[in-house]
Structure 1
Amino acid sequence: MNKITIVTDAWYPQVNGVVRSIQNTNRELERMGIDVAMVTPQSFRNIPCPTYPEIRLSVATYWQVAREIEASKPDAVHIATEGPLGLLARRWCLKNRVPFSTSYHTRFPEYVAARFPVPIRWMQAFVRWFHNAGNGCMVATASLERELAKLGLRNLLRWSRGIDQSMFHPRPLEEKPFGLPRPIFLTVGRVSVEKNLPAFLDLKLPGSKVVVGDGPAMADLARRYPDVLFTGLQTGKDLADIYAQADVFVFPSRTDTFGNTILEALASGVPVAAYPVTGPIDIIEPGSRAGVLHEDLQQACLAALDCSRDNARALARKFTWEAASRQFLDNVRTSQKRLALPAP
């Protein structure tokens, strides 16, 4: 296998875990000699997603997507998302009896139900229909695998995540970073309803709170919480510098399937406070003293102040993009070897 075509509805200029995961995996695959072709919204006319304009939805026909895939002459096809492009790529694979793999990056039923009056069981049925048509569905963690298996998803394969240790690492601590008193409680991610940010912003904590990121809830939350520093979107070294100045990284989401930002914080030497849910429970090892998981997020935040920055860094070293990308490649190969797809 020399060439993989990845179809994704999430791509630049979006900045999120899906985009970063694919980007980092592509870089490692190319180092392994694998040619990666991308089918993304950049190739088609697109419109803003209702209630979330930062996400662009492709307005493409089946034949347009078919031409993109066929022009790439892939040895294997991987469909990363359940959006318009993912649906059309799924149709093409089934029509042409081409085995394909998929990945489950976000809690699609919960995210749709949070924005539109759609019963969550309908969206769960859609997820089963979408992913079970393929020969392998990649998931990031053991807890998510168990959860999806209970929903009836089959052929689940593990695809973990990594962290760029050269970008995210400890830096000298400033006495008053951002001009704010310590301790600094930081969160990073999309500023949107599914991230459960008020659960963090409402806490009575010493020191200061900092939110890094942008999204549809930004203006409302900045107005409601004037004492919180909202930095907006940050990337690259600027983002890494911010991480390294935090005392505790707070992850209030209950719906993420992994939490790449947790790894970025740990690699920066910052202990984590989070709920004991999928993602955090798969990363923060019991007894590691790299973070605290608790149903009382305030208790987790305060206890995390006593965790070890060195232990946080040591835990992050277990996650590399090279290892995760080899998992991805092995999963694609496994999907190609499974029984032929049923007739469409």
Structure 2
Amino acid sequence: MRTRPWHVVAGLVAALMTMPLAACGGDGETGADSFTVGLLLPSRAVPRWEQFDRPLIEKRLKALCPHCAMEYANADNDATRQQQQMISMITKGVRVLILDAADTRALRSSIQQARQAGVPVVAYDRLAEGPISGYVSFNGAQVGKLQAEALLKAMGDRANGGNVVMMNGDPASSNAAWFRSGALSVLTGKVKIRRSYDTPGWSTENAHANMSAAIAALGPGRIDGVLAANDAIAAGVISALKSAGVQKLPPVTGQDADLDAVRRIIKGEQYMTVYKPFRTEAAAVAAMAVALGRGGSLRDVATTATDSPTTRHIPSVLLTPRAVTVGDVRQTLVKDGVYTIGQICTQALRPACDRAGLDVRRS
């Protein structure tokens, strides 16, 4: 995957959130603004898709195009189902598709069918293969680097030659390899990667099974850190460590800032997560979809270009992720309105929240 910068992206967030309707093209006539956008998300296993991405995209679409409608489907980690959902939407007459592919290779033929039907496809969060018209995501290499840098910091003296288990993402997602390469660019030569596993479906259950195998092979006391690709995987890692009787958990990374993960961070069970401001990502993809639906260009939205294995120069927006440890929760997730302190700090977590500077009584 290669990207080429087009221009400086300072002010992108504000521009996307305040972009007037005219900026997306179109003549303001209701006829030009009464089309349907299809949204296809990959699963329910990762909480963010249903809790954040879907409602944020729908809200931003309505803000940009009040007369537009949204058709929605979730693949539940089934690429064949997503292909059927995609063809169904094309048959129903959607004008644009936003696709977060359950399998970035398997959807290639369906994307080609969409192109032949004159329906542009915007790849969301994962870079799908095939003739896509636009792409919005976060810089995956930076995600992996943030995880690895945080892991080394948490490992302390053991960051020099310590034993690490890598719990990678779903091999059907192009992002999994991107995250892994970013992490390895930091870890290689500093720690020993004792075991490395893929996690089909980003599933907590699969992660638990893989981590249990790593513990059996290495011994519970010989794992100094775990590079978990996302929070669902981190949950499986931590449950496996607890099941094995590990009293002092090694540092475990994550991604997506799931509410349960944030609570684990407060409790000291998970060291960090990677926060990807979903509102900005949703705003960018909505702007792309509306521009394409109105027959316009993506020049005012895209800030870079990306090459996929099949398509060159894809107009893209690649956003910047942020690492979140216990000391960052207030200034990131709470400040941005992702969660309130009351949502994070259950009654059982009140003492830990107080120590973390998250006093519910002052929120």
Q: TM-score, structure 2 length as denominator?
A: 0.37
Say which structure is richer in helix: 2
Q: TM-score, structure 1 length as denominator?
A: 0.39
